[in-house]
Amino acid sequence: MLGPIVLGLLSMGLLGLSARLFFLGMRRSGDKRVLERLGQGQVAAASDRPLMRWLERMFLRAGLGRPHDRIWLFIAIWGGLTLVGLLAGQWFGMLLMLLTPPLILRGYVSWRYRRRVQRMIEQLPSLLDYTVRSLKSGRTLADAVLGAMEASYDPLREALARVERNVRLGVSLDQAVEDFAELYERDEFRLFALGLRINQRFGGNASELLENLIKLIREREQGARQLSAMTGETRLTAYVLASLPAAVAAYFLATNPTYLSKVWQDPSGQHMLIAAIALQVCGCVALWRMLRSI
């Protein structure tokens, strides 16, 4: 009797939340939409909540926009899954549903960020080469860099819209690129910002500096590919070790579904399964850290 009541209250709460989000979207003024478009790609400095600032930073780096419009929907879905887990698997199910959605979201955002920033780094030499050719044709460094940004392709062009917007608001080019480099936390972008800062303060041959930067980025990319090829066996071994226990458990569930259910019904079996899952998670985290250090 308790299950249908909880599910009914949950459905009513989700219906009320969807109606509230709908009316908030309908009431949003045109001025607010314009301000949101102008502020797109910027981290809100006025937010006093560290968690919200961290979420904004992660979402912006992954190219997912601001999380404000979707955070309450995610929390509602998360709460619903937690209640379903409590009804289906009692405390173990609730704990599983309480931890799994945030971990999946964190993994997806990190995967999007790594994939996006890798494509941006691959496009950076072309942007620098366009800048060098513009400098040799007689344009200033700022005009050459801004022109190269406009001629680049997504995702680099979308990310560099942050730099172009800051420059139009009065920020110097080297400071805007440094802010961009600190957001994405990659050495290639930091070297680009450092080169612009040195040229802005001390002068020098900007074309030669950017050509050396292009050569350095391409050498780093070649070295990263060689390292990936040399450590391929190690990474494959880590993937097999991480997936083997889960594959064995899936095989038991497919061939003999009552085996694990009988183990779970016994109190000592519950402790053993919980300990096995905890050890599996710790092992996966350790293997992941080892792979990240290579």
Q: Which letter does DSSP use for residue 141 in this model?
A: H
Peptide bond into 155 cis (omega under 30): yes
Is residue 84 within 8 Å of 94, Cβ to Cβ?
no
Q: Distance between CA atoms of 118 and 95, rounded to whole angstroms?
A: 35
Quick one: pLDDT at residue 122? 85
Nearest to 56, CA basis, from 166, 192, 162, 186: 162
pLDDT of residue 46: 41
- Report yes or no: 270 and 264 within 8 Å, Cβ to Cβ: yes
pLDDT tens digits for range 73-98: 777 777 777 777 777 766 767 777 77
Q: Which amino acid is at 149?
A: M
d(CA 166, CA 177): 9
Which residue is associated with the tokens 């172009």?
Answer: 164
pLDDT digits (tens, 9 = 90+) for 32-79: 444 444 444 444 444 456 777 777 888 888 777 766 666 777 777 777
Angle, helices 50-61/68-136, rounded to nearest 10 degrees = 50
For residue 245, give both structure tokens: 């226990």
Q: Are 233 and 240 in contact (CB under 8 A)?
A: no
**Nearest Cα residue to 196 out of 141, 143, 260:** 141
Helical packing angle, 156-168 and 68-136, nearest 10°: 80
Alpha-carbon separation of residue 177 from 130, 134, 192, 249, 288 (angstroms): 17, 18, 8, 50, 31
pLDDT digits (tens, 9 = 90+) for 250-277: 887 778 777 777 777 778 877 887 888 8
| pLDDT band of 12, cuts 50, 70, 90 | low
Are the C-beta atoms of residues 207 and 135 closer than 8 Å to each other?
yes
